[in-house]
Chain A
Amino acid sequence: MGNLNPIQILVDTVSVGGLYALTALGLGLIFSVMRLANFAHAELVTCAAYAVFALSGQPVAVAIVASVGTAMVLALATERLAFRPLRSADQTTMLIASFAVSMFIQKLLIFTVGSRPKPVDPLPILAQPIAIAGAQVSLLKLATILACIACLGALTYLLRRTSIGLHMRAAAEDFTMAQLVGVRANSVILAAFVLSGFLAAVVALLFVAQTGFVHPRLGVQIVLVGFVATVIGGLGSLPGAAAGGFLVGALATLLQALLPAELRPFREAFLFLIVILVLLFRPNGLWPAPGLKERV
């Protein structure tokens, strides 16, 4: 990068951070209702990306619908087959289970399509740069920012203004209590998985458009950073997850721009170091969720 134009940095930060925020929100939705740190979210992203790849000759709209559908169906399938039977298990077992689900889908994908990266360019019209106040900004980054804002807005509306949103917030605060006052566990959890599938597909689409490649470990890369964001923001807190995403995006961009060249390859190591530090000083994140403390 090297270019320290403030608008350039701002656009980079928000477009990178937006992707992380959406990923973190997908993880955070599941965590808040189930206390499950869902590693398999990575494969939702990957499979959605492969759906785009598989339909790359078709109209863009078809590819988008297919990728959203793929991620949602996969999210529901993992819930039904793997996570529902473990709903009453402890966090550690669920975490290991989600690791296993993630590996299972990833290996299945490698088995069926191979591990080599494949080029794909779903949105070629967005490639050209435009100039804003002296900075060269690609249309794609602006589209990413707009898509992120739209998703955040829609999600906020859903959670604040609809009854299922109310149920989800209630379940996030105290699942048992919510059940006692008539919230249906299944519908809340399924809604969370559908939404996280949707968010995964959006992330996949934007990420693939930015990088131009699909490969079976694509999701892992981005979801791991998403985890960082949820932890920094506060596990189980959705505003925290979104804020954490943008914060991580900002950190990544700033580290890239400010670190001396010889330390730049270690950029992500610094990111993970920050996670550990946050966990040490604020174990529940910077914006902790209410009701997270385990009761004795």
Chain B
Amino acid sequence: MADGTTGADAVLSVRGVSKSFGPVEVLHDVSLDLRAGEVHALVGENGAGKSTLTKIMSGYHPPSAGQVLLDGQPVALASGVDGERHGIVLLHQEFNLAEDLTIEESIFLGREWRRGPFLDKRRMRAHAAKLLADLHCRIPPTARIRSLSVSQKQMVEIAKATDHRARVLMMDEPTSVLTQDETDILFGLVAQLKRNGVALVFISHKLDEVKRIADRITVLRDGHLVATRPAAELGQDEIAQLMVGRPLHDLYPPKQPPAADAELLLTVHALGVPGRVFDAGFALRRGEILGFAGLIGAGRTELMEAIAGLRRREGGSVAAGAHRLAYLTEDRKAKGLLLQFPSRPNLTLSTLASFTRGPFISVPAEDAALDKAIKAFDLRIGSRDMQVGALSGGNQQKLLFAKVMETQPDIVIVDEPTRGVDIGTKQQIYHFIARLAAAGKGVIVVSSEMPELIGLCHRVLVMREGRIAGELAGESLNEEEIVRYATGLKGAA
């Protein structure tokens, strides 16, 4: 059995840790050491046990078996708060921010500074401003969480976590919603913390990032620790193979661009969304996979939502003829799926009219559709009664795909289709998108992951500050060009 122990100078260790939820064992006999001044990356597919392991190490879950050691001594952490008291801080995957509080209030929630019986707002505000400045985050500490973008919320979470005098800081997918620039800032901060002797844990699905900042890498698969190695010894392909447990060929399917005279499915002309999108125009052909690149906040989602009729638009036109259009939201938890409901009602929610007999819903028809979706999308939903919220991110995303495809669209817009999804599922989603295009549909892919756009799309439009700044295809479709347009080095802004 591989393990991640080193013997000496570990700040925090686990020895033989297992964890079961009911009858399901999600973590099996894992041993690992975290050292001061080292970045330890945890990688693995969704459901491999990464989040559970960090929750055990930080006190949110007690282990079912095995020990947690702090400075070589066994500790029983009673809760996440108890863990923080010992200097072990976990930055959660999901946001834990109250939407109506300000940034300052969020950062100090539960440990407010006071002067006598009164809140010392001035000092807290100044401190919050300093934390944000360290992250090059130009938002006032008095802004409400509700008004922030997803990446800004993440920055607030990071500011909050780093403010604890952490000896161990664990970050569960901190970069999944960050732009390249923000990621660079975060990594600068990580380097700083490393120099200060903090032990860091970094979870990410982005293997290039893992390679970039990790000193050691631990791979988990199905709750087992597969390997712990120095980062220098592992290539990205090797990591992916260890994660999946098999060699991973063909992450991206071969490209089959449409004929130049293929039918136009969608023509957008001079479309605007108040304050967000200006004068956007493009066309989509049958069989084409069209990418949309850009920094977060460039207006890509707003443009797509306006095209799908989910957002008010200002001027311009959208011509789709008789073609049906479907939009797959980037925010599957808040806008895509009913998390407290099982899979069946989620699958049919958009198309319930085709599952009725007379005025009544036909449950057998819905069940049949779910059977088909399970096969077509390789859905692993456990029990049929299981709430969708309890599924892994990859399975949620596949269910959302299945739901959208129930509408039998001719034009499919997918927004961040692989966010928070493991590499095995990513591959499935890419191949699925390619099959859609091969079947004569038009697909628009909005993504912040450039390799994905380059590997998958026939043509990529880059947006910047609400405008389409450039179009890339063929040889010129590469990361450097995308960045030039996205940041305004090239193209009219």
Query: Do these two chains interact?
Result: no
Which residues of A does B touch, CB under 8 Å?
none
Which residues of B does A touch, CB under 8 Å?
none
